Chain A
Amino acid sequence: MSHGRPAIAVVVFPGSNDDRDAAWALGAVGADPVLVWHAEEQLPRDVRAVVLPGGFSYGDYLRCGAIARFAPVMRAVAEFADAGGPVLGICNGFQVLCEAGLLPGVLRPNKSLSFICRDVAVRVERARAPFTSRCIEGQRLVIPIKHGEGAWYAPPGLVEELEARGQIPLRYDGADPNGAIAGVAGITNEAGNVLGLMPHPEHAIDPLLGSGDGALLLASLVDAAREREPALV
């Protein structure tokens, strides 16, 4: 079944600050974005994909992302992901997914201890639905990062396992900006339907504003959402 403009939920935590940009960008690439407050216990029934946006949920208290995983909506997001629904976590959303155990590893403070805000190049290692189907393998995308805690870390054995299973679809091209293990810019769960990434595709959807490369990732997600049946959780 194909849908014109699939509904994609953008979760709003207290302290999210890229929620509106994410919603705007999803709208620009053909989705019908729906902002969903963190206190909701269910996702709207017609939602076909979920985005956890960037920001500083719960003030980054304790560890970034550590408190957001207790938000009522996260149970529904976990059920949606378990049922195969595409879930994209951007920056703080990535941190939340790691702390919630939906993605492996954890995001640590940047090696430089500086907050980094600039365009970076990432290389597409896997081009496939639901997040990179509009890309080609080896493609170089220019997308901005803006984070203080973006150094992805996992113990050595785990990194090789993830690599072997193709769970590293996006890597920094050249030197990694933040000290991430194996240059990881984005990582998926084993099933491939949950992606966390530090670069912000929602800030790179128009060449007039620097780069349109992020639109490829978001449009891939919209394509996948269009093909999906609505959420039943």
Chain B
Amino acid sequence: MRVTVHVLPKDGILDPQGQAVESSLRHLGFAVAAARVGRLVDLDVDAETPEQARAEAERMCEQLLANPLIERYEIEVAAA
């Protein structure tokens, strides 16, 4: 089952990478108010149901994919 995990710096956590991207976009003339840079993890999870796949991804985030001190995550399970 296709699961996509987005990991982003938590709100309020300084994101120098996002700031650099934001100012570069402004240099190009884009009207960007804010940019945050995170990472995307694309997974093919062996699961019976979307709920099970989501629960598995949740545990992956807690144990490895995100550092809860500084990062938040969003999980998307593709419709079968």
Contacts and interface: CB of A to CB of B under 8 A. Distances in A.
B66 to A, nearest CB: 9
Contacts of B69: 105-106, 153-155
A108 B20 contact: no
A113 to B, nearest CB: 4
A20 B64 CA distance: 29
B20 A113 contact: yes
A110 to B, nearest CB: 7
B57 to A, nearest CB: 15
Contacts of A108: 13-14, 70
B67 A106 contact: yes
B16 A113 contact: yes
A62 B65 contact: yes
Interface residues of A, number: 16
Question: DSSP class of A's interface residues: helix, strand, loop or mixed?
Answer: loop
A109 B17 contact: yes
Contacts of B13: 108, 153
Contacts of B67: 63, 66, 99, 106
The bracket for how many chain B residues form the interface is 10 to 19
Interface of B: 13-14, 16-17, 20, 64-65, 67, 69-70
Given A106-B69, A154-B69, A112 B16 contact: yes
A106 B70 contact: yes
A106 B66 CA distance: 12
Contact of A62 (B16, B64, B70): B64
A179 interface: yes
A118 interface: no
Among B14, B20, B69, find the residue whose CB has the most chain A CB atoms closer than 10 A.
B69
A165 interface: no
A66 B16 contact: no
Contacts of A110: 16
Contacts of A63: 67
Interface string A29-56: 0000000000000000000000000000
